Structure 1
Amino acid sequence: MTQPMLKVTDLHAYYGKSHVLRGVNMEIMPGEVIALLGRNGVGRSTTAKAIMGEVAPKGEVTFKGQPISGLESHKIAHLGLGYVPESRDIFPTMTVRENLILGIKNMKKPGKYSVDDMLDMFTNLRARADNPAGVLSGGEKQMLTMCRTLMGDPELVIIDEPTEGLAPKIVHQIGDMIAEIAKTGVAILLVEQKLSIALRIANRVYVMGHGEIVWSGTPEEFRDRDDVRKEWLEV
């Protein structure tokens, strides 16, 4: 039986005295796309940060069978776990091409993606390859952040709120981009509020409420659960 690529067991996290995560449990299999849904403030982004070591986790997180709880973020990344934060961190004065090169973890051992692969896959970036990244639109910056993460050759990518604040047309493009990434065999944990994009590309769905997972199932099962959507997602 195939083992989970990422397994989270009884994960707790705190901001000061505030108990944000209250025993989160989830699994992601190799090549699987998981959507983590929920209202703002329920702990979805904190879950991503706790997995990546940006928030101190209490509980067990394993990646490819190896415990990673408590490791520093850069060490977790070097194990093959990529992270695209909602802040869209880029280096604005460097060119798009230079930003992509910064994502390479080992210059002596290239990963499966080259800079040209990324520019071929996402033509918006190809046209601006030698422009400063700071002139990109919000959607293009999101594309660049995801592409730079892929340059590190991750086996699993956590993508936090990629469509936040973007126009509907760009939201669809970002969804297509994530679907393209999934086709290459990279597993994805997608933290998202927009059901349209999440249900279109996910294999399974986790719904979070009050710092814990309150429901899980397939997109098809989720579509039949108006009660779950009304109680945990609708404002």
Structure 2
Amino acid sequence: MAESTLQVSDLHAYYGKSHVLHGVRFDVRPGEIVALLGRNGSGRSTTAKAVMGMVDARGDVRFKGQPILGKKPFEIAHLGLGYVPESRDIFPKLTVHQNLLLGQKGSGRGSRWTFDDMYAMFPRLKEREHTEAGVMSGGEQQMLTLCRTLMGDPDLIIIDEPTEGLAPKIVELVGEYLKKLKERGISVLLIEQKLTIAMRISDRALVMGHGSIVFEGTPDQLRADAATRKEWLEV
């Protein structure tokens, strides 16, 4: 079995005195899409932020074998770990092309991804190349955020709720995009509410409840486990 790209063991996280994550443990292997599922408040976004060094956490987090807990977010990003937050942090006054340019690390040479790749994947971004990002639709901004992260050539991307508020057609596009990442050997940790897309494109599914992992298995195993779905996922 290939060594995991991301290994998380006994991860605890805190907001002030509030203990949010309780010994979270999972891994993501090279070129694998892992869905992290659960209701709002279960600890999914906190897990992403803890891995990225954005909240107070303890435990063991390793990226490509290297311990990263305690490093600053920009240091973690430079190791090759991309993060697409739920908030779609685009630069609204900059154009699409300028936003993508900001995603590049250093000269951009040697990256798996070019501007042409981004525009081929999302022709809509090519049409809006010189448009200020702030005037675009939510779906277009989501595409831009994903592409800007890719321009940094990460080996693993953590994506938080990429389909939130998007039209069904755009949700399909995002799903296709994530499969393309996998084809290029990039690992994905997908935090998602929409079970249908997560179950369709993921290799494995994790379910969180009350700050712990309560299920780990294939999408088929989760489909067959009505009790887990009812207790931890269904609203």
Return the alpha-carbon distance in structure 2 between the equivalents of residues 230 and 42 of structure 1: 15
| Residue 4 (structure 2) aligns with | 4
2:209 is the counterpart of 1:209: yes
Return the alpha-carbon distance in structure 1 between the equivalents of residues 166 and 108 of structure 2: 37
| Residue 94 (structure 2) aligns with | 94
Per-residue CA deviations over 1:136-177 (Å, capped at 9, x if unaligned) read 110110010000000000000000011112222222222222
Q: Which amino acid aligns with 1:26?
A: F
2:82 is the counterpart of 1:82: yes
Q: Secondary structure at the match of 1:7?
A: strand
The answer on whether the counterparts of 2:92 and 2:132 sit within 8 Å (CA) in structure 1 is yes
Return the alpha-carbon distance in structure 1 between the equivalents of residues 139 and 197 of structure 2: 15
The answer on whether the counterparts of 2:4 and 2:27 sit within 8 Å (CA) in structure 1 is yes
5 Å matches for 1:1-235?
A: 1-107=1-107, 109-235=109-235
User: Unaligned 5+ residue runs, structure 2?
Assistant: none
The answer on whether the counterparts of 2:52 and 2:76 sit within 8 Å (CA) in structure 1 is yes
User: Structure 1-normalised TM-score?
Assistant: 0.98
Return the alpha-carbon distance in structure 2 between the equivalents of residues 108 and 210 of structure 1: 41
Return the alpha-carbon distance in structure 2 between the equivalents of residues 142 and 66 of structure 1: 30
The answer on whether the counterparts of 1:139 and 1:174 sit within 8 Å (CA) in structure 2 is no
Return the alpha-carbon distance in structure 1 between the equivalents of residues 108 and 145 of structure 2: 22
Q: Secondary structure at the match of 2:129?
A: coil
Return the alpha-carbon distance in structure 2 between the equivalents of residues 229 and 68 of structure 1: 32
Q: Secondary structure at the match of 1:158?
A: strand
Cα RMSD over matched residues?
A: 1.0
Q: Secondary structure at the match of 1:4?
A: coil
Q: Secondary structure at the match of 1:205?
A: strand
Q: Which amino acid aligns with 1:59?
A: G
User: Structure 2-normalised TM-score?
Assistant: 0.98
The answer on whether the counterparts of 2:15 and 2:56 sit within 8 Å (CA) in structure 1 is no
Return the alpha-carbon distance in structure 2 between the equivalents of residues 110 and 198 of structure 1: 31
The answer on whether the counterparts of 2:96 and 2:133 sit within 8 Å (CA) in structure 1 is yes
1:187 Cα offset (Å): 0.3
1:108 Cα offset (Å): 6.0
Q: Secondary structure at the match of 1:142?
A: helix
The answer on whether the counterparts of 1:31 and 1:187 sit within 8 Å (CA) in structure 2 is yes
Q: Secondary structure at the match of 1:3?
A: coil
Return the alpha-carbon distance in structure 1 between the equivalents of residues 171 and 114 of structure 2: 25
The percentage of counterpart residues that share the same residue type is 61
Change (3 A) 1:110 1:94: farther
1:135 Cα offset (Å): 1.5
Return the alpha-carbon distance in structure 1 between the equivalents of residues 90 and 56 of structure 2: 25
